[in-house]
Structure 1
Amino acid sequence: MTLALYGHPFSSYTWKALIPLYANGTAFEFREVGEEHPQNAEFVQAAHPAGKFPVLVDGDITVIEATSVVEHLALRHPGPAPLIPEDPAQASVTRMLDRVFDNYVMGGVMRVVMAYIVGKNGPDPAEVTAGKEGLLRAYRWIERWLEANTLPPHVSLVTCAAAPSLFYADWIERIPEDCPRLAALRAELLALPPVARCVDDARPYRPLFPPGAPDRD
């Protein structure tokens, strides 16, 4: 049975699941969740405890949460992209960095985005400031880590987490000049064909970005 991925082209966590599928040339059907496809939204509401996507269906297996989707693909549908390193120690580091990019980079992005969504009369300045300060702190931690360590080869779980989070994070708070390694990593990730495909497919939805999408990337 062909894999089916439920998500939205503008969703960072959908990108996280799409990148490994594209990188390994895995056959799958994309089922967009939106007003034009109510049946897909209904499925996601039933499949996920919070009604969130992405959701992967692989035969009689349903996988929720983007990190778990990547882990499932690495186990059940391996390909040329080394999603999870074979060495246990390297795999542990890969999973650690996955959490850093999800929790502290994408987490900062979502704090600012939610301030705009919730603030009908304008975002709460304190929330916007806190989100941006959190991003800067995460940027500098990752910069120090990159100075002392080497990332696993692309496309790994780290790639899948870092690419969408850094793409949107730089829209919220530009990566500063004192983080050249991180800025270079973002550029490197956006040049990868699986990531570039996600960026291009999401272009029609840029007006939906609550803080306003910049005219770049």
Structure 2
Amino acid sequence: MSLTLYIHPLASFCHKVLIALYENETEFDTQIVDFADPGSAAALLDKWPVGKIPVLHDSKAAQTVPETSIIIEYLQANYPGEVRLLPADPDELLQVRQWDRFYDLYVSVPMQKIVTDRIRPANANDPHGVTEAKSTLDQAYKMIDAHLQAKRWATGEDFTMADCAALPGLFFASIVDPFPGDREHLKAYLQRLLVRPSVRRVIAEAQPYFSMFPYRDAMPEHYLGIS
């Protein structure tokens, strides 16, 4: 098999790419990276010295592809399937790229700030940074809720790369900074995402690792039953 994706099953950015792969039933192998294991980490660093996951390696093309959005674009260009995650129309494509970046930068990144702060040493916590991250999430929730009033998916009627980005960020963000009660469009959108087959598969594969999640105590019970 020519495609290998270097991942950790609990990493939200890895989930984004996995959803894209499962949407089109693309054949690939996974390589789970254990950064505590020098040998496992070395296999990733040999491909991408920055050491961030996910990373896609295409042995057929002798190509290493980092960064989630670039990976998804690479897959569409070289391993296309029935689900077109980046539309052909330039205006629609711009919207997809805009909301893809929005979910990565203003949902996933602040969510990760809150999560990682919980596992810092007690004298190394960053309460101000966590407060800023929650403020960013609250503003993002407001914008997403307004944007989704007349939309089924992130940019319209078609499931796209922006939805691949939205799910992992919103899934974990809803645990660490729950949605306000009046964000009904946002809540409904997350529920639509959670019943999509590609998403259900990603969450089911992550479930055995949920005990490692620093906010496992705050995880809703119904998240544990998605399969």
What's the TM-score once normalised by structure 1's chain length?
Answer: 0.91
The correspondence for 2:207, drawn from 189, 203, 206, is 203
Which residue number corresponds to residue 18 of structure 1? 18
The 1-side partners of 2:93 and 2:128 are apart by: 37
Is contact 2:151–2:157 with CA below 8 Å preserved after alignment?
no
DSSP 3-state at the match of 1:31: strand
Is contact 1:94–1:152 with CA below 8 Å preserved after alignment?
no
Which residue number corresponds to residue 182 of structure 1? 186
**Aligned residue pairs, count:** 217
Is contact 1:116–1:122 with CA below 8 Å preserved after alignment?
no
The 1-side partners of 2:141 and 2:195 are apart by: 20
Which residue number corresponds to residue 81 of structure 2? 79
- 2:198 maps to a residue whose letter is P
DSSP 3-state at the match of 2:65: strand
The 1-side partners of 2:21 and 2:210 are apart by: 23
Gaps of 5+ in 2: none
Q: Cα deviation per residue 1:22-78 (whole Å; 9 max; x = unaligned)? A: 110111111111169754421222333420110101121110011111111111111
Which residue number corresponds to residue 109 of structure 1? 111
The 1-side partners of 2:53 and 2:112 are apart by: 15
Is contact 1:104–1:134 with CA below 8 Å preserved after alignment?
yes
- Structure 1's consecutive aligned runs of 4 or more residues displaced over 6 angstroms after TM superposition are none
The 2-side partners of 1:96 and 1:49 are apart by: 28
Q: Cα deviation per residue 1:121-161 (whole Å; 9 max; x = unaligned)? A: 58433222222111111110111222366624454101110
Which residue number corresponds to residue 164 of structure 2? 160
What's the TM-score once normalised by structure 2's chain length?
Answer: 0.88
Residues 50, 36 of structure 1: CA spacing in aligned structure 2 closer, same or farther, 3 A cutoff? closer
- More displaced stretch, 1-10 vs 139-148: 139-148
Gaps of 5+ in 1: none
DSSP 3-state at the match of 2:216: coil
Is contact 2:5–2:28 with CA below 8 Å preserved after alignment?
yes
- More displaced stretch, 1-10 vs 184-193: 1-10
What is the identity percentage for the equivalent residue pairs of Structure 1 and Structure 2?
35
